[in-house]
Copies of this chain bind each other. A is one copy, B any other.
Amino acid sequence: MADESTHTRQDSPLDGIDAGGDHPKLALGIDLGGTNIQAGVITERGQVLGRAKVKTDVESGFEAIMDSIASAARQACEEAKVPMSAIHTAGLGVPGPIDPEKGVVIEAVNLRWNDAPVVMGLSDRLSVPVYADNDVNVAVYGEWRAGIGNETPNMLGVWVGTGVGGGLIINSQLHRGAHYSAGEIGHMILLPGAHLGSRSVEHNCSRTAIAHELIKLIRSNHPSLVTSLTDGKLHKIKSKVLAMAYEQGDDLVRTVVDDSADRLGMAIASAVTLLSLDQVVLGGGLVHAIGEPYVDLVRDSVRREVFPESLRNVSVEASMLGDDAGMVGAGLIAFEELWK
């Protein structure tokens, strides 16, 4: 960790930034994933003053991962040239359902965690109040406050990758609901007539679902560029492979991806209708890999299916913050919770 005393008030990059009073308010925003930990020093307006990225060593266990997060946080402060003492709070996004009151991750499959006391673990190490929430919730919050959302009162965020996650802003607040699980659009029923285990949005529209469908079709002799792009290792169908095949006009990939985008749009239309929403933001690996063509298809489907007609101008756009959404949102939501 850098010697904090070497940074004086005079040469601080904070001068003039968000300095409402004598002491600019800063938060750490941390996005904990199964592969990487991203940490950033975040201003009240969602600017990133410094950042760090370290690998998540899932094998190392809970305490070691907490240490890695604290270390990434210190690196981000160093990059931002601010002392840890300038940090008022820290926000953490985790890949799993959380009990925010207890500060405990109920389950995180990627990390092999159950009932993990992340708030205590991290506040002990950083000596600031810590707020933890689901990773998609914080990303949607970040996008709403500092990205595409423009703080419109009601917004749905849908993140498409390995799974399909979501978050809801209602009346200018992150809506958590009775069991802190609100926004889970991936678990809405898409096909009531399908078998249990293949009915939900996630079962039909995630990158995993698209890959399964492609593998099934390729194995029944439908040709696709995906075979050569993965050297025949079809279990390696990731978002980038799909995006490459899509861009090169691969018929099979286009059919499967377009169909899934259309279906996702129908589920989003149901949510937009139910909540009378005028803003939807799309994020996650698949959305950013394929980009505009995917977003256009989802938007067309949403607008075709919403009720009433006045909702047909609903905005459906890709996330502006991309990979930073979770980190920025974690910092911003920590401020929000601190000032409640």
Contacts and interface: CB of A to CB of B under 8 A. Distances in A.
Interface stretch (A8-16, A80-88, A108-116, A173-181): A173-181
Interface in A69-127: 97
Contact of A171 (B170, B185, B199, B269): B170
A136 interface: no
B181 A310 contact: yes
Contacts of A187: 273, 307-308
A179 B278 contact: yes
A177 B175 CA distance: 14
Contacts of A299: none
Given A171-B171, A171-B173, A263-B192, A179 B308 contact: yes
A181 B183 CA distance: 19
B182 A274 contact: yes
Contact of A276 (B179, B199, B276, B277): B179
A64 interface: no
Contacts of A154: 177-178
Contacts of A338: none
A178 B190 CA distance: 24
A188 interface: yes
Interface in A125-157: 153-154
A8 B336 CA distance: 55
Nearest to A188: B270
B192 A277 contact: no
A336 to B, nearest CB: 15
Which secondary structure characterizes the binding site on chain A? loop
Contacts of A266: 189, 192
Interface in A161-205: 166, 168, 170-171, 173, 175-185, 187-193, 199-200
Contact of A275 (B171, B177, B308): B177
A311 interface: yes
A47 to B, nearest CB: 29
- Copy number in the complex reads 2
A182 B275 contact: yes
A305 interface: yes
B188 A190 contact: no
Given A263-B192, A266-B192, A274 B271 contact: yes
A184 B307 CA distance: 8
A182 B276 CA distance: 5
A97 B178 contact: no
Contact of A181 (B170, B182, B185, B308): B308
A158 to B, nearest CB: 11
Contacts of A308: 97, 179, 181, 184, 187
Contacts of A153: 178
Interface string A25-46: 0000000000000000000000
27 contacts: A154-B177, A170-B170, A170-B175, A171-B171, A175-B275, A175-B276, A177-B276, A178-B276, A178-B277, A178-B311, A179-B308, A179-B310, A179-B311, A180-B276, A181-B308, A182-B276, A183-B274, A184-B274, A187-B273, A187-B307, A187-B308, A188-B270, A188-B274, A189-B270, A189-B305, A191-B193, A192-B266
